[in-house]
Amino acid sequence: MKVVASTVIPTTSAMGLSCSRDGEEHDLFRAAQVGDLETLDALLAADPSLARRASIYERLSALHIAAGNGHVQVVSMLLERGAHPDLLNRKKQTPLMVAVMHGRIECVLKLLEAGANMLMFDCVHGRTCLHHAAYYGHADCLRAVLSAAAQNSSPVTSSWGFARFVNLRDERGATALHLAARQGRAECVHVLLDKGAMVSSSSWSWRGSTALHLAARAGNLACIRELLAWGADRHQRDSAGRIAYAVAIKRRHAACAALLNPASAEPMVWPSPLKLISELNPEAKALLQAALMEANNHHDDSQLNYSSDYVDSESAEVCGICLEQACNMIQVQDCGHQMCAPCTLALCCHSKPNPVTLTVLHPPACPFCRGAITNLLVPTLPNNDNDMPRRRSSSRRFRQPSEGSSSSFKKSEGSSSSSFRGLSSAIFKSARFADKPPVDKPHHHIM
């Protein structure tokens, strides 16, 4: 066996290359495998039809081999010499699918630029390139496919529609979100939910499990947190009548069961009914995302192994609502008032919205001037301290995420108060995800 570019490449006999093939065709596949541009150029100049040839058994074309091994220059040459971007191998997989399965982002972008069809289904499980990207956990490839599908000139938008494409099912009724949750791909789960994947849809197989059931079965805390933050229903049952909590208990995932216990406080969810998150700039959105994860996980900080956070009072702003120092502030675009990320999040979503009683949506109001919050951004720090006066503390201190504080939000009544316990006292920091399992290798090898 020979290893090239972290891809296991078996001998030619194992890939269906036969001695009945002529020497030129064999040399073509070998050049595409190792990225030999000179040999490939000479062979295609002598016989341009070689670009459309395939191996005997696996029916792999030179484009499949180059895309799977990540040789983007070879892929470009083959496309320029007449290779079709949607050539099929024995499993009805296109070069785009093979590139996505192996995480070759440059080849994925090149094939998408060449007009590769994203709506092709293989004959193994009836999956598209979107399913393969989610299953194997290649978030960069997943973003590239979704970005190409969202363009107005894309065939996906004009024929299927982007929302339908994101929630496309394979022959087993599994969406890309189901596959990502089942494999424990937390980053892919977040990308799909952010693009409109239905969080509570049931699959046809796996006993009608939702993505939350599958994440509980896999025991992946990061996926469970993402799904709960985007409104996954902990009370939804599969075809066997089980909720996700029962699945976690059966699989002996104690930490997952603690998050999924219906008796625990209702988690906070994104304020998507307020039509607010889609309007945020990327920096402000990232701050609120991490603040939401911090609020939902605060009661379980012992399992997250959070360490003490050191706050430098010389560089930390003081939030005018909770009166706590926060290194990251959010500014209301219209009035310019600022508050910390946890307080901003608390204003936008106090509890999980009820789709039955939810009628008219109103944007949240600024707590300082009562003006409507239509957009949020991250304020730019002034170069000179005289340009913007700050409240500074006379000493530096350590603060624990689990410590209490005198926040006004802790006095709120009802179920929302338990969801915000410790929210204003927690210093904003990036969300921490559990270790992801190693990326699965595709079921077939690329030469």
pLDDT digits (tens, 9 = 90+) for 70-92: 999 999 999 999 899 999 999 99
Q: Answer for the pair 30, 23: CB distance below 8 angstroms, yes or no.
A: no
Q: How confident is the model at residue 302 (pLDDT cuts 50, 70, 90)?
A: very low
User: What is the Cα–Cα distance from 173 to 177, expressed in whole angstroms?
Assistant: 11
Q: Architecture of domain 119-264 in CATH?
A: Alpha Horseshoe (1.25)
pLDDT, averaged across the chain:
75
Long-range contacts of 416-421 (CB under 8 A, 24+ apart): 416/350, 416/351, 418/265, 418/266, 419/265, 419/266, 419/267, 419/268, 419/295, 419/296, 419/350, 419/351, 420/268, 420/295, 420/346, 420/350, 421/265, 421/298, 421/299
Q: What is the pLDDT of residue 293?
A: 67
- Sequential DSSP letters for 283-322: HHHHHHHHHHHHHHHGGGHHHHTPPPEEE-TTT-EE-TTT
What is the per-residue pLDDT across 135-154, written as a single tens digit (0 to 9) for each? 999 999 999 999 999 987 78
Q: What is the pLDDT of residue 105?
A: 97
From-to residues of CATH 1.25.40.20 in the chain:
1-117, 119-264
Q: What is the pLDDT of residue 312?
A: 42
What is the per-residue pLDDT across 204-236, written as a single tens digit (0 to 9) for each? 888 899 999 999 999 999 999 899 988 899 999
Q: What is the pLDDT of residue 14?
A: 37
Helix axes 221-229, 211-218, angle to 10 degrees: 160
Instruction: Kindly state the average pLDDT of the residues 129-136.
Output: 97
From-to residues of CATH 3.30.40.10 in the chain:
312-381+396-431
What is the per-residue pLDDT across 333-363, written as a single tens digit (0 to 9) for each? 778 888 877 777 666 654 455 545 544 556 6
Q: What is the pLDDT of residue 425?
A: 37
Q: What is the pLDDT of residue 407?
A: 37
- How far CA 51 is from CA of 42, 105, 384, 394, 412, in Å, comes to 12, 22, 62, 72, 68
Q: What is the pLDDT of residue 207?
A: 85
User: What is the Cα–Cα distance from 394 to 252, expressed in whole angstroms?
Assistant: 49
User: What is the Cα–Cα distance from 179 to 184, expressed in whole angstroms?
Assistant: 8
CATH of domain 312-381+396-431: 3.30.40.10
Q: What is the pLDDT of residue 414?
A: 40
- How far CA 339 is from CA of 318, 320, 326, 333, in Å, comes to 8, 6, 9, 12
Backbone angles phi, psi at 8, to 5 degrees: -75, 125
Percent of all residues in the chain with a pLDDT value above 70, rounded to a whole number: 66
Backbone angles phi, psi at 217, to 5 degrees: -65, -40
Q: What is the pLDDT of residue 139?
A: 97
User: What is the Cα–Cα distance from 71 to 418, expressed in whole angstroms?
Assistant: 53
User: What is the Cα–Cα distance from 385 to 6, expressed in whole angstroms?
Assistant: 51
Instruction: Kindly state the average pLDDT of the residues 187-209.
Output: 91
β-pair partners for 326: 317
Q: What is the pLDDT of residue 316?
A: 57
Among the listed ranges 35-49, 123-137, 146-160, 208-222, which one has the minimum average pLDDT value? 146-160
Say which CATH class 1-117 falls into: mainly alpha
Residue 188 in this model has a pLDDT that exceeds 80: yes
